[in-house]
Amino acid sequence: MDSGCTQHMTSDSRMFTSPSHDVEGHDKITFGDNSKGKVEGLGKIEISSEHSISNVLLVDYLNFNLLSVGQLCDLGFQCLFKPNEVIVSKFDSGEEVFKGFRSKKANLQACLFYKSSKGWLWHRRLANVGMSTLKNVMKKDLVRGLKDITFEKDKLRIACQASKQVANTHLSKTFMSTSTSLELLHMNLFGPKSYTSIVGNNYGFVIVDDFSRYTWVYFFEHKTEVVHAFSKFAKRAQNEFNTSIVKIRSDNGKEFDNTNIKEYCDQVSIKHEFSSTYTPQQNVWAEAVFGCKCYIYKKGKHLGKFQRHCDIGFLLGY
């Protein structure tokens, strides 16, 4: 409901029960910024089984349906505004006609502007085409009626953002986050593979030191061997480097389930960190050093024209 609106109006032609295109004397309306809106029709809208509103204007480019308080009063109604509702009743008998409720979604910090941008209207009509594309379409006169319209992206539409949202890229680190060996170990367990190695192994276990990038790779027949292999590795590495393992990091998958690695870390006071789900970049050193098919160039060899120029292998570390 609008106390400043001189007449009821809407942009939805489906609401009318008896529309008319005879709009003599109502060909245009004026918005708050002095721009004009074209009146396409005039008619009656039912608000209940017993009551209807007459002389409602059909106006282009409206974001809201407007109910004029002044026009209601001229018709013999009175409007009682309360904190959360408005009651419209007959002035002479006090009979309640209908109620309106205050929207909880309205932003009280901003003024509601009823006119819809023609640029955004064409954006919706043409299946959310980008503003730059609309400018080119109008410039080349490819769509009838698309003329003298300004296309500017001055707001964010939820539907567009939801369909075009992409993840931000992960920037490369330009500094070391560790200061000594074994301060942080990246770990990854992969398997079971679709094929078994010659000696019967199905799982691969990769450990990468964040500081030195030194890599250890172990192979197992069963994943239950992981905790035993890691405990032996931890004792040997800590003795060799004369320092303690501070923390390990693995991805947030389920490959370490049923390996007892958590219990071992709690027992020897090693912190176990997890990377964010679907974010292998946080554990990239352990994710990228194994299992990738690679092609090794046969450098320095005199090869015939039809001989292979490379050997095929799997990258385990570097």
Indicate whether 51 and 17 sit together in one domain: yes
The residue range of the domain holding 29 is 9-101
Does residue 261 carry a pLDDT above 50? yes
Q: How is residue 75 written in tokens?
A: 């018709």
Residue with the bigger pLDDT between 200 and 292: it is 200
Indicate whether 82 and 123 sit together in one domain: no
Neighbours of 184 (CB within 10 A): 20
Last residue of a domain, one of 70, 101, 132: 101
Q: Going by DSSP bridges, is the β-strand pair 9-10/203-209 parallel, antiparallel, or unpaired?
A: unpaired
What is the pLDDT at residue 288?
56
Reported as a single tens digit per residue, the pLDDT across 7-19 is 788 888 888 887 7
Reported as a single tens digit per residue, the pLDDT across 98-147 is 787 776 655 544 444 445 567 877 887 888 888 888 888 888 888 888 88
Please report, rounded to a whole number, the percentage of residues in the chain having pLDDT higher than 90. 13
Instruction: Report pTM.
Output: 0.46
Assess if residue 272 is contained within a domain: yes
Indicate whether 199 and 264 sit together in one domain: yes
Assess if residue 41 is contained within a domain: yes
Assess if residue 213 is contained within a domain: yes
Distance, in Å, from the CA atom of 132 to the CA atom of 152, rounded to the nearest integer, reads 9
Task: DSSP letter for 182, please.
Answer: T
Amino acid, res. 301 = K
Indicate whether 284 and 190 sit together in one domain: yes
For residue 186, what are the β-bridge partners? 208, 249
Domain count, the chain: 3
- Quickly state the pLDDT bin for 184 (edges 50, 70, 90): very high
Q: Strand, helix or coil at 264? A: helix
Indicate whether 36 and 77 sit together in one domain: yes
Assess if residue 147 is contained within a domain: yes
Indicate whether 195 and 128 sit together in one domain: no
Q: How is residue 253 written in tokens?
A: 């998958």
Compute the average pLDDT of residues 226-244: 92
Assess if residue 62 is contained within a domain: yes
Assess if residue 264 is contained within a domain: yes
Last residue of a domain, one of 37, 68, 101: 101
Assess if residue 300 is contained within a domain: no
Assess if residue 174 is contained within a domain: no
Please report the beta strands in the chain, taking only residues with DSSP state E, as ranges in sequence order.
9-10, 28-30, 36-46, 52-59, 77-81, 85-90, 96-101, 184-190, 203-209, 215-220, 247-250, 271-274, 292-297, 310-315
Indicate whether 129 and 93 sit together in one domain: no
What is the pLDDT at residue 124?
78
Residue with the bigger pLDDT between 241 and 20: it is 241
Last residue of a domain, one of 67, 101, 135: 101
